[in-house]
Structure 1
Amino acid sequence: MTRLDLLKRVQKRKRQIGLTIDNIAKLSNLGNRTITRFLAGEDVKMSTVESVTHLLGLDFAGNETLSINELEQNRAKEKAIYMVSLVQDTSSLEQQGLDNKQLNLLIEQAKDSFLHQHQKSLWIS
């Protein structure tokens, strides 16, 4: 596979998911300029290629390692865990923390909310 083939697959996946350069940069902990250079076909570090392709559920050759549905499920769960952990940390300080069963229920509810009601904010970091 050529670099051009990889870039085409990355661009296609980026459009399918609806990610912006800014989203990719933030979620992969890279700079906007680095992402712009990569997407323009300029030389970048292998670690940059790895970070971007991994984020998009692709391997180094641009082959799908995770479906878009799996990516969305994973991202929704990450965000849900983060949001619930904020509530749990605050509640714990007030000695009103939730047990594991309640936490898991809140995580699932938040995950479903991200997937169905707040999908536009799914990839915003």
Structure 2
Amino acid sequence: MHCPNCESELVAFAVPQAYQDHLPGSESAAGLCPQCLSLEPGTEPSGDPEFGRISDAFPTTAEAALPLALLVGLLSNLALYRNEISTLLEAVEKAGTDPLLVLDRLDRDPSVETDIDLSGRRRQLEQLL
């Protein structure tokens, strides 16, 4: 499936039951756009997710990459998804990845062209931690 915003191919992944409450809607799968970082619920994966297509900054283990993908996808609505984002931040940290460092690297990645102010969101996320 392609991103409805920028037409890039989405990185699709199944959302485990533990994170389905964090996803808008009642879908059990989602896709994250590697270019604009928009999250699209309902995108069925065709195999193992290739989180490395999003950015070299993304973790390689699904245990960290999956909650991070959801977190990044929800950043455009920080006020609405504050509790979900806080829970996802903790999950990424428990998996051994620094989510704030990943956001810094995504912000500097030339292939990422998002409308989200990643450096501004990073500062706001620091306050949640």
Q: TM-score, normalised by structure 2?
A: 0.23
Q: TM-score, normalised by structure 1?
A: 0.24
Structure whose alpha-carbon radius of gyration is higher? 1
In proportion to residue count, which structure has more strand?
Answer: 2
Greater relative CO, 1 or 2 (CA 8 Å, sep 6+): 1
In proportion to residue count, which structure has more helix?
Answer: 1
